[in-house]
Amino acid sequence: MRRTRSEVLGRAVRTAIRNPGRTSLTMLGLAIGVAAFLAMVSFGSGARSSVMEQFEVLGTRVIYIWTKVNDRSFGGSARPVTDADVEALLRESVTLERVVPRITEVQNVKSDYASLPTDVTGTMPDYVHIREWPMLTGGMFDETDVQQRAKVAVVGTTVVRELFGGRDPVGKLITIGTSLPVRIIGVLASKGQRTTGDDLDEIILIPATTYEAFLGMPTGYHGLMLQVRHLGLLETAIAEAGPIMRRSHRLTDIEQDDFRFSSPAQAAQLARLVSTILTSLLIGIAAVSLLVGGIGVMNIQLVSVAERTQEIGIRSAVGASPRQIMGQFLAEAVVISFTGSLAGVGLGWLASTLVARAMAWSGTLSLWTMIGAAAFGTSVGVAFGYLPAKRAAQLQPIDALRHE
């Protein structure tokens, strides 16, 4: 029986080859459906992992607190965010692992070779731990540097490129603003660009105390970075940190928060939700195109059955059972659908590779996704080939024989 089955398929292949134009057009319909389907799946997973990457760049367990001191839309007089708030949070909260203050302003920075207006951030050593930011060379400043208001800096790779032409800057001096010379003690590993175009590597970190002493901090910190003990505690941590901040700022019950929270994790969740919805929509559209491909297979097989009515009659007269006739036409649908689906997988792989390259997304299609798409496309084609095959099998031999 297995031998006859492979023979049935072999005959179907020959029939398909006999009509190359028609066969390839039918296959094309299905191939486009499968390709669209694959491209959408890979687009979806690419977009999702891109969202995840951005989210990881910002630190996965981070909550930001922003001061409203410079916020003109805030009604009351906001109290500045200070070291007292950091201490209160660390002392009273149970969900937070680290708290780091942060002030960032654009300063003109000069080396012996060049100058560059860039973000200078005053912060604490834990900054790099919260951002999960490894060092390329050298090290981060430590508590002693903070206490001594040391004139030291850690810089990003863009700064190294712009100010030192890419040469190792550790031990070299740069001047921040007009009068603050600092010695570079470390270089941060590159984080690349965010999709918004911000260059994450255009950064200079100095101790917050050094910043306050030499650059000034008249309105306190711009904000705090809070690291939650684990990701699941994000909401709880925000609920816990709010009242601590209010007490620390001595706000009365009728006063609004003079600070606000933001959380990349929450933003990422939202972005993921949006991209999931978008992807499902696109996959839905791709499924429709696959359906159209299937209908193409049905059409062509119906035409084929109509054209070969007399042949069916001859086969039937000779003794072919309805099942054998049906098997013949189903085998043709299998051959067309399978080949078309394989071509579609090829096309889809190409499309998704190009899209991934253009969007700088990592990861393309897995082997199993491709196998699944090929199997799905084949089943669609065969499902739509069923009706014509059934029709062929139900032809009355005498009517079919008389057909011209």
Asked if 314 is part of the footprint of another protein (rule: CB under 8 A), the reply reads yes
Residue 42 CB, shortest distance to another protein, in Å, is 42
Asked if 5 is part of the footprint of another protein (rule: CB under 8 A), the reply reads no
Interface of this chain with another protein, residues 281 to 310, rule: CB under 8 A: 310
Residue number, 373 or 395, with CB nearest to another protein:
395
Asked if 391 is part of the footprint of another protein (rule: CB under 8 A), the reply reads no
Beta-bridge mates of residue 340: none
Instruction: Tell me the C-alpha to C-alpha distance, in Å, between residue 113 and each of 172, 174, 369.
Output: 12, 10, 53
Instruction: Candidates 121, 316, 364, 369: give the one binding another protein (CB under 8 A).
Output: 316
Asked if 383 is part of the footprint of another protein (rule: CB under 8 A), the reply reads no
Decide the pairing of beta strands 259-262 and 180-188.
unpaired
Rounded CA-CA distance 224/79 in Å is: 14
Residue number, 11 or 129, with CB nearest to another protein:
11
Interface of this chain with another protein, residues 321 to 340, rule: CB under 8 A: 321-324
User: What token pair was written down for 137?
Assistant: 């060379």
Residue number, 177 or 322, with CB nearest to another protein:
322
Asked if 173 is part of the footprint of another protein (rule: CB under 8 A), the reply reads no
Residue 401 CB, shortest distance to another protein, in Å, is 7
Residue number, 4 or 219, with CB nearest to another protein:
4
Asked if 320 is part of the footprint of another protein (rule: CB under 8 A), the reply reads yes
Instruction: Candidates 254, 318, 358, 367: give the one binding another protein (CB under 8 A).
Output: 318
Residue 323 CB, shortest distance to another protein, in Å, is 7
Residue 335 CB, shortest distance to another protein, in Å, is 16
Give the residue among 329, 312, 311 at the shortest CA–CA distance from 384: 329
Is the Cβ–Cβ distance between 77 and 255 less than 8 Å?
no
Asked if 16 is part of the footprint of another protein (rule: CB under 8 A), the reply reads no
Asked if 401 is part of the footprint of another protein (rule: CB under 8 A), the reply reads yes
Residue 271 CB, shortest distance to another protein, in Å, is 58
Asked if 311 is part of the footprint of another protein (rule: CB under 8 A), the reply reads yes
Instruction: Tell me the C-alpha to C-alpha distance, in Å, between residue 387 and each of 307, 309, 326, 329, 367.
Output: 16, 15, 10, 10, 32
Residue 53 CB, shortest distance to another protein, in Å, is 57
Residue 319 CB, shortest distance to another protein, in Å, is 3
Instruction: Candidates 84, 285, 317, 360: give the one binding another protein (CB under 8 A).
Output: 317
Residue number, 5 or 91, with CB nearest to another protein:
5
Residue 316 CB, shortest distance to another protein, in Å, is 7
Rounded CA-CA distance 221/73 in Å is: 19
| Site of interaction with another protein (CB under 8 A) | 1, 3-4, 7, 18, 310-311, 313-324, 396-398, 401
